Chain A
Amino acid sequence: METLEPILKEHLFFKTLDSKYIKLITGCAQNARFKEGEFIFKEGQSADKFYLIREGKIALQIPCPARGAITIQTVSNNEVLGFSWLFPPYKWSFDAKVVEDVRVLEIDGKCLRKKCEGDHDLGYELQKRFAQMILERLQATRLQLLDLYETP
C-alpha cells in the first residue's frame, strides 16, 4: 500500500531527516485540501496540528477592529504552517486563511508530541527544525517592522 512517507521525505522541511523518524511522523500524517477563502484555523483555537504545504498559499491574519483582517505573512509551497502545536498552551495566535487552494500534509501534533516524549532524539530533531524556522520568521518580521521602503 502506498503511504505518505515519500511525500513527507520530499518536503523541504524534512528532507534531511533520518528515514526512521520519517516513518514515525508518517504515522501521524494525512493528506488534506482546503479551498480559497477557507480558514484552516482561527486565533484562540486549540493548536493540535501543523501543516506541510505542498501547493497553494495561506495568509496568516489577525482581525483588527475598523481595519478588517491584516495579513502578517503568507506561506506557500514547501513551507510549514503552524508551530503553536509544539509549545504550551497549544493555542493558535493568528487566523490561517487560504488565499489560493492548498494541498497539505496535515500532521497530528498531539500524536507527534507523544512520540517526541518517547524518543527525545526525534524531539531534538524536530525542535532544531522548528527553532530554525522560527528564527527565520523572527528575523523577517524584524525587517518588516523596519518599514524600509517608507520615505526616509
Chain B
Amino acid sequence: MKTLDKKVILSSCQNPMTPIPFIIKNIYKDTHNIFTLETSLANHSNLSFLPGQFNMLYVFGAGEIPISISGNPQEKQSFTHTTRIVGAVTKALSKLKKGDMIGIRGPFGTYWPLNDAYGKDLVIVAGGIGLAPVRPIIYHILSERKKYGKISLLYGTRTPEDILYKDELKEWSPRINVFTTVDIADSKWKGDVGIVTKLISKVSFRPGNTVSMICGPEIMMRFTIQDLLNREMNEKNIFISMERNMKCAIGFCGHCQFGPEFICKNGPVMCYEKIKNIFGIREI
C-alpha cells in the first residue's frame, strides 16, 4: 500500500532556524491580489512535504512569513506556495522575479489525515485563499482515487474574479464533486451565490464514515463545523487548519500559542475534537 512519505526535509545543517536558499522557477498570477510561486533548490535536490504543512518564506531585507504549501506532494523538485498580498513581506514577495532567490525553512507542522481517511467519504471545505492549503489534498486523492469513497470539495470565495485555480477546479470535477459559491456576483455569474456552508446540504455522504477537512477564515470554519455536526458527523472526524502568528515554527517562541498548543508544532492541522473547548474562545 502506497502511503504518504512521512520523511520531510528540515533545513540545511539540521538547523531548522536557518533558511535554505531557493530559486524562483515560476510565478503565476492567480487573482488581482493572489499569486503562486514555484521554487526549487539550486542543486535540484529532492524535496518532500505532507499535505497541510507549511514553510517559512524569508524575503531578504523584508522579513519572514509562514505560508502553506499548495503544490503537488508528488512533485519532488519544487515547493509551491500561493500567497495573498496583505503586508510588507507578501508585497516584497510579489515583486520578485523568476530567477530571484528567497530563503525557505521547513516544511513544518502537522498534516491532513489522508491515510486514515482510506475507504471513507471526504468533505473538503475551503474558503477564500483556504483553497491553497487543501490543494495538496486533492492532488494526493486524485493519485489514489480508488482508495476513497465519495469526495466533495466545497469552495466559497468573495466574487467570481477571486476564484483560485479556475482551470484545475474544472479538471477535478469529473473525478470529485466540486461545488463553488461566491458571496457577491453580478448577473453574468451562473454559479451559486451564498455562503459556503449552504453547499453542505447539496452533498451526500455517510456521516458515520466521513472525514471532513476545513480551511478558511475561522468564523467560516466555526459555522461549517456546526453544519457538519448537524448532519451527524463525529467531532473526531473533523479536521481544521488553524492560523496564528507563527515565528520560529518549531514551538520555541510561543508567538502562535493557542491554549496549551503551539499552532506551528501541534498544528496547523488539528482535530476539532481535541480543540473544541478552546476553539471559538475570543481571548485565545
Contacts and interface: CB of A to CB of B under 8 A. Distances in A.
Q: Tell me, yes or no, whether A binds B.
A: yes
Interface of A: 57, 59, 61, 67-74, 76-78, 97, 99-100, 140, 143-144, 146-152
B219 A143 contact: yes
Contact of A71 (B84, B128, B185, B219): B185
Contacts of A61: 187
Question: By DSSP majority rule, is chain B's interface helix, strand, loop, or mixed?
Answer: mixed
Interface string B140-155: 0000000000000000
Contacts of B185: 70-71
- Across the A-B interface, give the 6 residue pairs with the lowest CB-CB distance, nearest first: A149-B128, A69-B187, A149-B158, A148-B217, A71-B193, A71-B185
Given A59-B187, A68-B187, A71-B185, A140 B197 contact: yes
Contacts of A72: 193
A151 B33 contact: yes
Given A57-B192, A69-B186, A151-B84, 14 more contacts: A61-B187, A73-B194, A76-B202, A78-B201, A140-B195, A143-B195, A144-B183, A147-B158, A147-B183, A148-B217, A149-B217, A151-B85, A151-B86, A152-B86
A40 to B, nearest CB: 15
A147 B193 CA distance: 13
Contacts of B189: 71
A140 B190 contact: no
Contacts of B65: none
Contacts of A97: 187
Interface in B153-196: 156-158, 162, 181, 183-187, 189-195
A150 B157 CA distance: 9
A142 to B, nearest CB: 9
Contacts of A71: 185-187, 189, 193
27 contacts: A68-B186, A68-B187, A69-B186, A70-B185, A70-B186, A71-B185, A71-B186, A71-B189, A72-B193, A74-B193, A74-B194, A76-B192, A97-B187, A100-B190, A140-B197, A144-B184, A144-B194, A144-B195, A148-B128, A148-B217, A148-B219, A149-B127, A149-B162, A149-B183, A149-B216, A150-B158, A152-B86
A151 B83 CA distance: 12
Interface residues of B, number: 33
B193 A73 contact: yes
Contacts of A146: 219
A143 B201 CA distance: 17
A44 to B, nearest CB: 18
A57 B190 CA distance: 9
Nearest to A151: B86
Interface string B208-232: 0000000011011001000000000
B198 interface: yes
A74 B192 contact: yes
The residue among B85, B193, B201 with the most chain A CB atoms within 10 A of its own CB is B193
Contacts of A78: 201
Interface in B74-113: 84-86
A77 B179 CA distance: 14
Contacts of A77: 202
A67 B128 contact: no
A149 B157 contact: yes
A78 B220 CA distance: 24
B186 A67 contact: yes
Contacts of B190: 99-100
A59 B193 CA distance: 8
A148 B192 contact: no
Contacts of A59: 187, 193
